[in-house]
Amino acid sequence: MKKERVFFITVADKPGVLFKITNIFRRKNFNIESVTVGKTLAEDESQIIITINADEEEADSFARMVKRLIDVYEVVEAPKESCYVQELLLAKLEGDPDMLQKVAENYGAQLIKNGSLILKYVGEPANVEELIKELSNKFKIIHISRTGITAVVKEDGKDILRFGR
């Protein structure tokens, strides 16, 4: 059964590594739902977080192919429900600042006024989607920027699959 899965991939922090990993997905004609990359505490490492919709066999196959790459140190795969997942939304808007402030307060978002109306929100992807719908109904959206998800595995992590390290 297909479900959303999160891959935490620890890699060498050097050019071309992300391309090699995403190329595996391209070759298999598989869509990446979200990808984020950031430095780890180790100076020469980065962590790539990739979200895909896959069944168990597909997910296992992708993890093993990615792990074979020379610059990949570790691949951890977890069902999305086993992870604490957040996404950042920045939205530049036109409209009534007071009304936007009320929307921001309803969602726990921050309104940044610096000549433009910019809304900053961090939350679960479903809530980001809901907020975007509300914003599009009430305001003129000039620009939206989303980070894609970032995540950590919840407490026990007993249902994760680890490849390497």
Same domain, 40 and 9: yes
| Contact of 51 with 5, CB cutoff 8 Å | yes
Same domain, 11 and 73: yes
Same domain, 89 and 101: yes
Confidence at 28, pLDDT banded by 50, 70, 90: confident
Domain count, the chain: 2
Same domain, 127 and 146: yes
Distance CA 39, CA 97 (A): 36
Distance CA 32, CA 29 (A): 10
What lies within 8 Å, CB to CB, of 9 at 6+ separation is 21, 47, 48, 49, 50, 66, 72, 74, 75, 76
pLDDT tens string 107-148: 999 998 777 899 999 999 999 999 999 999 999 999 999 999
Distance CA 47, CA 36 (A): 8
Same domain, 11 and 42: yes
Domain residue limits at 95: 84-150
pTM for the full predicted model? 0.84
pLDDT tens string 92-108: 999 999 999 999 999 99
Distance CA 118, CA 97 (A): 10
DSSP symbol at 28: T
Same domain, 7 and 74: yes
Which CATH number does the domain housing residue 105 bear? 3.30.70.1150
Q: At what angle do helices 125-138 and 97-107 cross, to 10 degrees?
A: 160
What lies within 8 Å, CB to CB, of 68 at 6+ separation is none
Which CATH number does the domain housing residue 18 bear? 3.30.70.260
Same domain, 91 and 78: no
Give yes or no for residue 42 having a pLDDT over 60.
yes
Same domain, 67 and 110: no
pLDDT at residue 163, as a whole number? 53
Same domain, 10 and 42: yes
Same domain, 18 and 72: yes
Same domain, 56 and 89: no
Distance CA 12, CA 1 (A): 32
Same domain, 101 and 124: yes
**Percentage of the chain lying above the pLDDT 90 cut:** 69
